Amino acid sequence: MTDHRVHVVTDSTASLPPGTAERLRSVPLHVVVDGEPHLENVGLTAEDVAAHLQAGHRVTTSQPTPRAFGEAYAAAAAAGAREIVSVHLSGELSGTVHAAALAASDAPVPVRVVDSRTVAMGLGFAARAAAEAAAAGAPTDVVARRAIEVADASRAVFLVDSLDHLRRGGRLSAAAAALGTVLGVRPLLAVREGRIEVVQKVRTRTAAVERLTTVAVDSAGRRTRPALAVHHVGDDDGAHRLAAELTDRTGLDAVVTPVSAVLGAHVGPGVLAVVVADLADRGSGVADLVPLR
């Protein structure tokens, strides 16, 4: 963690690649397997969750406690933070951002809590951009605006083998889940206004991957400084093939990382996702402090 004035905190659903978290303080969510709680990414991966689901175990998730956030904020303050920007997954999907806000009221330094209204590397890119702004010496307002602008300009699209996990977890309506099941399609899902929605129905997984690729390429082409991430649960080879195809078609290197264990519990085995972000300064003011790469 740096000794800069503003520190950035996020949560484990950001699905950040190894090494990135060194510049961020990440608070883990909880995965509960047959009543036994686990901290996400602490001995329990998305692949472990997929195995539990396939074995028929009951898997649920829960947000961090305000106490966990309080400990993270206290640790940041002890490391030299004079202010904190805390950036988290959509409040429409989890109470994590609410728990962060509760802890912020008792933190030893001022905390600005940001609802990214997105998930996975949509959140990850936003938190990373905020951390880079903080490292450049940006004040709290600019760091928070940087997180918001990157999150707002991101698009997360993913396909799953089954909608049952999302339906059971309450992240997708029963009607939307039933539609995909009845028609026997491979639905493409997206995060819109902080919620998960079915955006397209494709007959086969091969066709769905092709459509996912096209959507990502088109989205990248409409962004000023596009950045790409590919997520998966237990399909590293498939994710790298998709990333290579995206690189061929866009010239951009795509980050490949497993989706977080908590998100894996909700989307289930077989998920393949693409996040497209725009890292351009769209008015946050960070470009006035340091030229963006």
Q: Is the pLDDT of residue 138 over 50?
A: yes
Q: What is the pLDDT of residue 179?
A: 47
Instruction: Answer yes or no: are the C-beta atoms of 61 and 32 closer than 8 Å.
Output: yes
Q: What is the pLDDT of residue 261?
A: 85
Can you name the residues that pair with 257 across neighbouring β-strands? 231
- DSSP label at 17? P
The mean predicted confidence, pLDDT, of the chain is: 87
pLDDT digits (tens, 9 = 90+) for 60-88: 889 999 999 999 999 999 999 999 999 99
What confidence tier does 182 reach under pLDDT thresholds 50, 70, 90?
very low
Q: Is the pLDDT of residue 177 over 50?
A: no
Q: Can you tell me whether residue 47 is helix, strand or coil? A: helix
Q: What is the pLDDT of residue 285?
A: 72
pLDDT digits (tens, 9 = 90+) for 238-249: 999 999 999 999
Q: Decide: pTM greater than 0.85.
A: yes
What confidence tier does 288 reach under pLDDT thresholds 50, 70, 90?
low
Of 185, 181, 113, 177, residue with least CA distance to 148: 113
Instruction: Answer yes or no: are the C-beta atoms of 4 and 134 closer than 8 Å.
Output: yes
What confidence tier does 166 reach under pLDDT thresholds 50, 70, 90?
low
- Greater pLDDT, 82 or 59: 82
Q: Is the pLDDT of residue 191 over 60?
A: yes
Sheet hosting strand 195-202, strand order edge to edge: 195-202, 186-192, 155-159, 272-278, 226-232, 254-258
List Cβ neighbours of 119 (8 Å cut-off, separation of 6 or more). 13, 89, 90, 93, 156, 191, 263
Terminal alpha carbon distance of the chain: 22
Q: 20 is written with which tokens? A: 């990135």
- Phi, psi (deg, nearest 5) at residue 56: 85, 10
- DSSP label at 245? H
Q: Is the pLDDT of residue 293 over 80?
A: no
Q: What is the pLDDT of residue 256?
A: 95
pLDDT digits (tens, 9 = 90+) for 198-220: 888 888 889 989 999 999 999 99
Q: What is the pLDDT of residue 275?
A: 97
Q: What is the pLDDT of residue 262?
A: 87
- Greater pLDDT, 55 or 184: 55
- pLDDT mean over 99-125: 97
